[in-house]
Amino acid sequence: MELCEPLTFKGREGSGHPAGRNSYSDTTLANFNRDTNKFAITYMLWGRYLYNPDTGAEVHHRYFRQTFGPSGPALEAALASSSRILPLITTAWLPSASNHSFWPELYSPISILPPTGKPLYSDSPAPHNVGSVSPLDPQLFSTIDQHAKDLVSDTKNARYSPGEVIEWLKRWFVHQLNHSWSRAPTEAPVCSRQRSSRLWKTSSFSTGWGFTMRIFFAQPSSIRSTRRLAILRQQHSRSPRIVRLATLGPFWLNGRTRSTPPILAYGDIAVRRGHWADRLPAIDNDVAAVEKYFAGQPVRQTSATKAIRRTTKASPRPVVAVDHAAPAAFTPGSDLRLTLAAKAPVTGSTLWYRHVNQAERWLTVPMEKSGNVHSGSIPGSYTNSPYPLQYYFEIRTADAAVLHPAFNATLSNQPYYAVMSVR
């Protein structure tokens, strides 16, 4: 795991100025004795859980109660949901792996259609448009373009789709709207120290910005609209029922404009400095280019119509019940045989495996079926390694394709099995 400390870019590449590296229009919010005070919650959680991942939740429950009084639980619940948004977006859709270039909180939009000039992020896959952007984890998540192809051909893909990402973001947002987020900003915190009150305000601001990112990336913007447009482009047609694109100006600027100075920066080039208002012309130009492109396409009924109709329905991921007991350890140089028992008719299953080494590719082997038991082996030539092993299963039925183990409702579990070698 690599952690990027919150103050990594402070004072670098033009981010410093006479008033300090303050990202708030209300300068009193940055009037901390130490810059690290703003990130007290982050440091507390990192310190506790990196030292002991099994630390009980009561540790941070107590911190929020003591620091923010009766309002603490509401703020904690809001941060719990909003803090999941950015990791999910970047895991499922990451235009650049460089945190020195890609700044999702101050996003420099890439085009929906393939760019004609130099791409904004050179490490994104060709043709460098929104639909072709790779997930940070392409093994478990599907691209927008691939998802569009699956919808057109009605192919069952076991990977998590952009549609599922949209539903996760929506679910977290609605939960917070109905439970804690609607209360957190309005309840005055009972704080005996000025620093706690200031930390409350900055944390509430960060929570609000997390939900603004959710609205921009999941609603009529990057993921949702691009998915529909990718379907139409693949069918070389346009639909008379296509949802009109929007610039999202109100969402882009709401609250964030009033709360921040005219220029935010941690570098000299455009993707590392500016303001949300600076991004609107690029969005407007992109919308105009898309409208021009589709204006020249015929209006006709194709398989795109059915595919687009599928995007309007939230389809929960199917559940295929299976039993699997992970081995306690493996012996280097010996085959590692793995089995699973399916409780429903399974037409096929695949074993995916890899050393716990991200420099390596995942390998795959079809599993053999005997009754309701499926088995496959990781060969001894591969287990003969100093690395632990990780693996998961892809399972197919007549009308579904799923992964096992699957993500839980909060995406907080490990979506694979890990096995250490015998000692």
Phi then psi for 418, rounded to 5 degrees? -125, 135
Among the listed residues 407, 393, 378, the one whose alpha carbon sits nearest the alpha carbon of residue 322: 393
Please state, in angstroms and as integers, the Cα–Cα distance from residue 89 to each residue in 160, 181, 341, 403, following that order: 13, 20, 34, 20
Domain boundaries, the chain: 27-310, 322-419
Query: What's residue 383's pLDDT?
Result: 97
pTM here is: 0.83
Question: Could you name the CATH architecture of 322-419?
Answer: Sandwich (2.60)
Query: What's residue 32's pLDDT?
Result: 60
Query: What's residue 326's pLDDT?
Result: 96
* Mean pLDDT for back-to-back runs of 10 residues, the chain (423 residues): 68 63 67 72 87 90 87 81 83 87 82 87 88 92 89 88 85 63 48 55 63 56 60 56 45 52 72 79 82 72 64 76 95 96 91 95 96 95 96 94 93 93 86
Query: What's residue 309's pLDDT?
Result: 66
Among the listed residues 396, 351, 408, the one whose alpha carbon sits nearest the alpha carbon of residue 171: 408
**97 backbone φψ class: left, alpha, beta (φ>0; ψ -120 to 50):** alpha
Strands 389-396 and 368-370: unpaired
